[in-house]
Structure 1
């Protein structure tokens, strides 16, 4: 997965786990809620219907205060390869999560956020790029704890 326009924010990380494990930590809502979001956040997943046209509705609970309602519609699901959705709540963007096996024990996971304009992408880049890194840190940690 590559960044192809200035409207996109691309983040990726090599995770020390097989692709089926990394994908399962996304595809299984009970596992997903343990790592999704920046450091310190917890999640309540209200709906997670992982198929094209399916809904993903969750509340992200901030570490100090605040509940952040999120809703999206899945647009593409290719197990162990790609999950894409369109956000219906602010901030609006399309998201693609890519999974690529590098070998039997390492997986490249990529987040591509696609914004409506270059300006919106630039405005969000400063915030979301470091938060995506926190998300990857959490994913690696919960996978390691689970093995």
Structure 2
């Protein structure tokens, strides 16, 4: 009997190439999901603390693309590109993320949105092409902390919308 069969979770085949970040957000799942689907929302919260985003093109549909530039707090611009590969509103988004459409180092992220009472549990699971690329993203670009900050920005943004709705 394998360890997994005895009740210990099996190690994923991609575990050494992935990062997983999750957060509970005090807002309804539909609103949290919507914050990913409309550029008018994304431009308010996307990216780690201190970053801003300029969208060059945006089409939220399977096969659609988001071409954007993230502006770092030090003035550095980071060209980014995302293609949506699977959409299951309001439960799941799968996307390919790189610097450009033909980026050989592009990675896949799967976002899941689960109800947690009146709140939402969001999980961002990212799988890199190689373990080395995952390690570089974590060590050089602080991908885990940046992802946590991005989800923190999302949480602040959508809970602000919920509060405004309650006041209005």
Q: Same fold (TM over 0.5)?
A: yes
Match of 1:136 in 2: 151
Match of 1:80 in 2: 90
TM-score by length of 2: 0.80
Q: Which contiguous aligned blocks of 4+ residues in structure 1 show a shift greater than 3 angstroms?
A: none
Say if 2:96 and 2:108, in contact at 8 Å, map to a contact too: yes
CA distance in 2, matches of 1:138, 1:64: 19
Moved more, 81-90 or 24-33: 81-90
Cα distance, 1:108 vs. partner?
0.7
Match of 1:111 in 2: 124
CA distance in 1, matches of 2:19, 2:137: 8
CA distance in 2, matches of 1:76, 1:20: 17
Cα distance, 1:80 vs. partner?
0.8
Cα distance, 1:53 vs. partner?
0.8
Task: Point out the structure with the larger strand share.
Answer: 1
Q: CA RMSD in A?
A: 1.6
Match of 1:65 in 2: 75
Say if 1:50 and 1:77, in contact at 8 Å, map to a contact too: no
5+ residue gaps, structure 1: none
Count of residue pairs the alignment pairs up: 144
Match of 2:44 in 1: 34
CA distance in 2, matches of 1:67, 1:88: 14
Cα distance, 1:113 vs. partner?
1.1
Moved more, 117-126 or 35-44: 117-126
CA distance in 1, matches of 2:57, 2:88: 19
Moved more, 82-91 or 39-48: 82-91
